[in-house]
Amino acid sequence: MNGMSRIVKTIASITFPLVMIYGLYIIAHGHLTPGGGFQGGAVVASGCAMILIAYGSVWTLGKIKEKNLSILESVGAICFITLAILGLGFGTVFFKNFLIGSEIIFGIIPSFGSTISNINTAGVIPLMNFAVGLKVIAGLFGIVLIMAYASTRRDKY
Amino acid sequence: MSFIDFLLQHSPALIVAIPLLGAFLTPLISKINNRVRNVFVILIILITTILVMLLASDVFSGNIHTYVFGSQDLTVPLVRILFEVDAMSAFMAIIGSILLLVSVIYSWSFIDENSGLDKYYTLVLLLAAGMFGMMLTGDMFNFFVFLEITSIASCALIAFWTNKGKAVEAAFKYIVISSLAALFILFSIALLYGQYNALNIAVLGSVIQFSYLDKIALVLLIAALAMKAGIVPMHMWLPDAYGRAPASVTIILIGATQASLYGVFRVCFTLYGNTINLSSASIGWIIVLLGLITMLIGVAMALIQSDFKRLIAFSAVAEIGFIFLGIGTGLTLFANNQMFGLIGTTAMSGGIFHIINDSLDVGLLFLVAGAVYYATKETSLDKMGGLARHMKYTTIFFIIGLLAISGIPPMNGFASKLLIYESTFQLNPILSIVAILSSIMLLAVFVKVFHSAFLGPALPKFNGVKEVPKTMLFAMGIIASIIIIFGLFPDLVINNIVDPAVNALINYSDYIREVIPTFTGGF
């Protein structure tokens, strides 16, 4: 698949950072607002897919290899399960939210009732959102990349 | 608290978590070396098997294990994800772990020549996690999620030999049937959740009313799970999938199919346990009839096949019919206390014992078919002949599988089939006549295979054929030795692992009382 016209490339370059920020925002605020790792990851991956369409799969494959994406995907999944197993190690049971109430990170327990949302809450849930987000970004973008590459191959023959 | 106690307490979660962790570590580890990766996967499955055995040995002594994710204890109302392991779940998990262990050992040489093996092993471990999750979970929605994981992983594994178009076709058939079944299950879960505001099997079982909507949900659940288990009107995906997948995958697919069967029993006996007096006679007869059709059509179709693996796949369909016949007979008599004590428990032990026998016998035959394919690159029975001259160990394993699947005395198939014949004869003689007829026809099918593939003069094109590598023989040897041990000491197996599983299904109130201590229904 070849790249599209200069207009498309320019617009894609301008909108790409905005899409990234929006997707990463959804991942980071997964425990406070609607959305989360999967939804934000899908937004980021579709931003990457936009670049892929604008610049073409050959150019994109020169920038990023699908092998690296598959490693990133594995890392996301491993992080998720490791967090769950850490609940067994530091807490008491599998999937225990061991960070909640601790002083380390995301440890604050908000007061009951209507409060201003605080990002430093919810324990391991934001971390799990990050892990899922990483997995979804790498996974979805990897699939799109492979499909685009496969269609290039068909053009050739 | 000692380390063993710690492992025992957390084993329901670890049995699912360790294969899942292993699945995602495999792509990273396969960057090092192929041999390291194979050892790693076998190690992961071995650890899981040890945990399953540890958990099962405790469960069979009478304790039901519950495991709440993310919290120490049960809270009412129950909003958390819950794993609940009773003897039936543990029994199924033992089957799953044996099949998995054999499969990964067999894969070492069998699949070695192919590329993309890191993905293969990742999918095998994902399939393992999904299968164990289905068997151990105590939550309907969780069951659906694990069913989906199992379906997607199996679909990709069936299509592993993508260079053969038929494998892709089989995988497509499988994913269509699976998605349909999964949607049925999701819909029935929605029906139950809408009425009772609960997803937990024990909680649902304690409040279920057998209203009109519940009946619809029951029909959908049984239809969907029977679809996944390959019961006859919905069996067309099974011969394709079993026949086209690599033999090492087929043997795990047997485990995944048995997990769906387990779902049928869990739904009939535990989820609808409280209303079983209303439903048992009609549902029981439906299951018995499905079992009969499955046996007859499976065997009749197996007789006319000329492809080795497809033939075994159809006999696997027939074997599932025996399980359905046994359990259905038990369910039919469930409401009738006097009759149930006489026949019902025997029929149920026969049915449940046959689950493990079926997986081992059919599994061994598939491994033999895989070994023949590995050595000769040939699947059509018409083009084989005289292989006993080149592959003597494989031939011995085939004879063991042949005797076991057709229920000849020294093997394990005899014990469970005899229990089924005895009990169904007292319910209705026709049932046992059909069962014996199918069993004899199975013998005929495999004698035909034995004659055409292994006996006869040596064919010149097979001159270079050698015995398969040692790891494959070792994997087949594990199953063959279990078959012989089970066949020689069936009473030991029935007393120690089958009867607890039967009791766990019958005494559904224990399962419910583990979550809701105040529950008073049941016997």
What is the residue extent of each domain of chain A?
A: 6-156
Assigned domain for B284 exists: yes
Q: Which residue of A has its CA nearest to B28?
A: A71
Residues of B with CB under 8 A from a CB of A: 10, 13-14, 17, 20-21, 23-25, 27-28, 67-72, 81
Give the largest CA-CA distance in chain A: 64
| A155 pLDDT above the threshold of 60 | no
- B85 DSSP β-pair partners: B65
Could you give the number of structural domains in chain B?
Answer: 1
With respect to residue B426, please indicate whether it lies within any of the assigned structural domains: yes
In chain A, which residue's Cα lies nearest the Cα of B7? A88
Q: Does A21 touch chain B (CB under 8 A)?
A: no
Structural domain contains residue B10: no
Average pLDDT over residues B208-219: 86
Q: At residue B472, what are phi and psi to the nearest 5 degrees?
A: -65, -40
Q: Do B13 and A94 touch (CB under 8 A)?
A: yes
Residue B138 is given by DSSP the state -
Query: What angle (nearest 5°) sits at the alpha carbon of residue B197, between those of residues A124 and A92?
Result: 30
pLDDT of residue B416: 87
Residue A68 scores a pLDDT above 70: yes
CB contacts, 8 Å: A82 with chain B: 21
Query: Does residue B488 or residue B114 have the better pLDDT?
Result: B488
Whether residue A96 and residue B70 make contact (CB cut-off 8 A), yes or no, is yes
Q: How far is B3 from chain A (nearest CA, A)?
A: 13
Asked if the Cβ–Cβ distance from A93 to B72 is below 8 Å, we say yes
Closest chain A C-alpha to B79 CA, distance in angstroms: 14
Task: Kindly state the DSSP code that residue B83 receives in the 8-state scheme.
Answer: E
pLDDT tens digits for range A23-52? 999 988 888 888 888 899 999 999 988 988
CB pair distance less than 8 Å for A94 and B14: yes
In a domain, B317, yes or no: yes
Decide if B168 is inside a domain. no
B311 CB-near residues (< 8 Å, 6+ apart): B302, B305, B381, B445, B449
Q: How many CA atoms lie within 13 A of B397 on its CB side?
A: 31
Interface of A with B in 80-99 (CB under 8 A): 81-82, 84-85, 87-88, 92-97
The domain in which residue B469 lies consists of 276-488
Residue B307 lies in a domain: yes
Per residue in B124-145, pLDDT tens? 999 999 999 999 988 889 999 9
Whether B123 maps to a domain, the answer reads no
Q: Which of A71, A78, A92 is opposite residue B21, by nearest beta carbon?
A: A78
Report pLDDT for B118: 84
- pLDDT of amino acid B151: 92
Measure the CA–CA gap between B439 and B486, rounded to whole angstroms: 19
Output the average pLDDT for chain B.
86
pLDDT value of position B198: 84
